[in-house]
Amino acid sequence: MSNPPRAASALDPAIAARLKRDRDGLFPAVAQSHDTGEVLMVGWMDDEALHRTLTTGRCTYYSRSRQDYWVKGDTSGHIQRVRSVALDCDGDTVLVKVDQVGAACHTGDRTCFDAGDLPVTVPHTAAQ
């Protein structure tokens, strides 16, 4: 995948300096329900998507397949209103706590992580 052409971002330089991006200038963004703690979805952001998220109060992601920005809910009505944004300790992932209106998943489900748990075969005592 080559670096998609994107406009320069107005992201605060102090925030931009803390970010670690992949070779395409992207980093994962985990959307979590602010009140229940439920992980809703994972999307991708670049500096401009993060800037838009921080300044509009609506989650903006970067679509790797369309190579364009998208605001969650603009077409579906299933919007994410931003409550808080945090950068992880390594600077390579953001956690966006949101008020989720409707489904978060493109399948129409509340969360993208409801396809069933995978079997864990490590005995509980071994993990201690």
Longest Cα–Cα distance of the chain, Å, equals 52
Question: 55-107, pLDDT tens digit by residue?
Answer: 999 999 999 999 999 999 998 999 999 999 999 999 999 999 999 999 999 89
For 26, other C-beta atoms within 10 Å of its C-beta total: 20
> What CATH number does residue 44 fall under?
3.10.20.810
Domain presence at residue 123: no
Binding annotation:
88-90, 92, 105, 112
Provide the number of structural domains found in the chain. 1
Domain presence at residue 7: no
Binding annotation for Zn(2+):
89, 105, 112
2, pLDDT greater than 50 = no
What is the C-alpha to C-alpha distance for residues 89 and 82, in angstroms, rounded to an integer?
A: 20
- With CA atoms as reference, report the closest residue to 98 among 66, 68, 73: 73
What is the C-alpha to C-alpha distance for residues 30 and 42, in angstroms, rounded to an integer?
A: 5
Q: What radius of gyration do the chain's Cα atoms show? A: 16
Question: 111-122, pLDDT tens digit by residue?
Answer: 999 888 899 998
Binding annotation for Mg(2+):
88, 90, 92
